[in-house]
Amino acid sequence: MKSTQPDQGDARARLLAAGGRAFRSSGYGGAGIDGLAKDAGLTSGAFYAHFDSKAEAFEIVVADGFKPLVAAIGAFQERHGRGWLGPFVDFYLVELGGSELCDACVLPMLSGDVARSRPSTRAAYAEHFGRVVAALAQGFRGERARDRAHALVSILAGAAMLRRALPDEQARQAVLDGARAAARVL
């Protein structure tokens, strides 16, 4: 007979998904354990059965948040070859940068919280950020490929963050247009 209890892996995954949504939407300080456990359909006790602290869950959410970005970079480079940059920039600025807060890219949404987090979270962020830069650099040619990759990620994440902060559509569009123009000349 099949158990009606969710397996422990499922509970952990649900907690991490809820944590990702909560941290992106409300920031580290605005996301409470009770709320994210409830969003996962679990109790606070279940949270503590899987994580020692909110800081530990945040660290895992941050690290996991880079994976879709690295995968997207590789997919665009494979699909578009040398012409990957323009389509990727549009994808990032429109789809990742314009998605709901809870689904948005980890870079513009959580970098500020990471800057105030514990050293192990900052180290995990740095490791995964390095993977993003390495993936982007693979799409550029020449000895300055890593410099170009750093510039691109800075332009895109900065534009996505500014776009969310500006209340006026015309100003948001100006940021996007400027980011597109700057990114495409890299």
Return the DSSP state at 102. G
Question: In total, how many domains does the chain have?
Answer: 2
The range of the structural domain enclosing residue 30 comes to 8-53
CA distances from 14 to 9, 23, 42 (A): 9, 14, 9
Same domain, yes or no: 82 and 44: no
Q: Is residue 99 part of a domain?
A: yes
Same domain, yes or no: 158 and 103: yes
Q: Is residue 59 part of a domain?
A: no
Same domain, yes or no: 40 and 115: no
Return the DSSP state at 92. I
pTM: 0.89
The answer to whether the beta carbons of residues 63 and 128 sit under 8 Å apart is: yes
Same domain, yes or no: 13 and 102: no
In terms of Cα–Cα distance, which of 68, 44, 100, 105 is closest to 15? 44
Same domain, yes or no: 15 and 79: no
pLDDT in tens, the chain (186 residues): 333 444 556 999 999 999 999 999 999 999 999 999 999 999 999 999 999 999 999 999 999 999 999 999 999 999 999 999 999 999 999 887 666 777 789 999 999 999 999 999 999 999 999 999 999 999 998 999 999 999 999 999 999 999 888 999 999 999 999 999 999 899
> In CATH, what number is assigned to the domain containing residue 26?
1.10.10.60
Helix axes 145-165, 106-115, angle to 10 degrees: 90
